[in-house]
A = this chain, B = another copy of it.
Amino acid sequence: MAEFTHLVNERRSASNFLSGHPITKEDLNEMFELVALAPSAFNLQHTKYVTVLDQDVKEKLKQAANGQYKVVSSSAVLLVLGDKQAYQQAADIYEGLKVLGILNKQEYDHMVQDTVSFYENRGEQFKRDEAIRNASLSAMMFMLSAKEKGWDTCPMIGFDAEAVKRILNIDDQFEVVMMITIGKEKTESRRPRGYRKPVNEFVEYM
């Protein structure tokens, strides 16, 4: 079985983690190097990760997550944020294309203006949708990258986002899109994988 297929089959959402498995910034940065290569609309890279290793902060996050124990049994807790103002960095992000001569000044200005007006014309709801959309693409890349490096994850949505923003001092510019806990899964707590719809139930061909 190809390694990717094996990886996808092996990736499970952990319901609990083993204690005594500290994770380092170096471990996590290896995963983030891959996450950086995820696609994002207009290459704006809307996603930001607040990665909590500190046990006291994890305790506070546990309260904001309905007391879910895996928040503190995890090796780290990631808050996946989407930047609703990401489009405002278009000029910086596309700068390299001009410096490398791939775009001339006029083409560069056009590209920046097209991206900025694309977001401004569609308004606040769209900017928020884009924060959620692109941060979720990134989050899936993170969970597969973590599994590839031998770590287990659990994506979570059962938490009070406003409380999390207060605990971590997150600006309103950012949408808290998802919480991901990472560690070494306590496999004794594992259930059989949940029922999955057959392909013909979620795919329609035309």
A202 and B54 form a contact (CB under 8 A):
no
Q: Does A18 contact B (CB under 8 A)?
A: no
Question: How does the 8 Å CB contact mask read for A136-165 relative to B, with 1 for contact and 0 for none?
Answer: 111111011100100000010110000000
Report A203 CB to chain B, min CB distance, Å. 5
Does residue A39 face the partner (Cβ distance < 8 Å to B)? Answer: yes
Chain A, 5-39, CB within 8 A of any chain B CB = 5, 7-9, 11, 13, 25, 28-29, 32-34, 36-39
Minimum Cβ distance to chain B for residue A177 (Å) = 7
Closest residue of B by beta carbon distance from A100: B192
Q: Which of B8, B34, B50, B143 contacts A206 (CB 8 A)?
A: B50
Q: Contact between B194 and A143 (Cβ–Cβ < 8 Å)?
A: no
Copies of this chain, tallied across the complex: 2
Quick check: A32 and B130 within 8 Å, CB to CB? Answer: no
Interface 0/1 of A171-201, CB less than 8 Å to B: 0000001100000000000011111111100
Find chain B residues with CB under 8 A from A9 CB: 37
Contacts of A43 in B (CB 8 A): 194-195
A 83-110 binary contact with B (CB < 8 Å = 1; else 0): 0000000000111110010100000000
Q: How far is the CB of A141 from chain B (nearest CB, A)?
A: 6
Q: Is the CB of B197 within 8 A of A36?
A: yes
- Which of chain B's residues has its CB closest to A202's CB? B48
Contact between B140 and A132, CB atoms less than 8 A apart: no
Contact B195 A95 (CB under 8 A): yes
Does A75 count as interface, using CB distance less than 8 angstroms?
no
Residues of B within 8 A of A197 (CB): 36, 45, 93
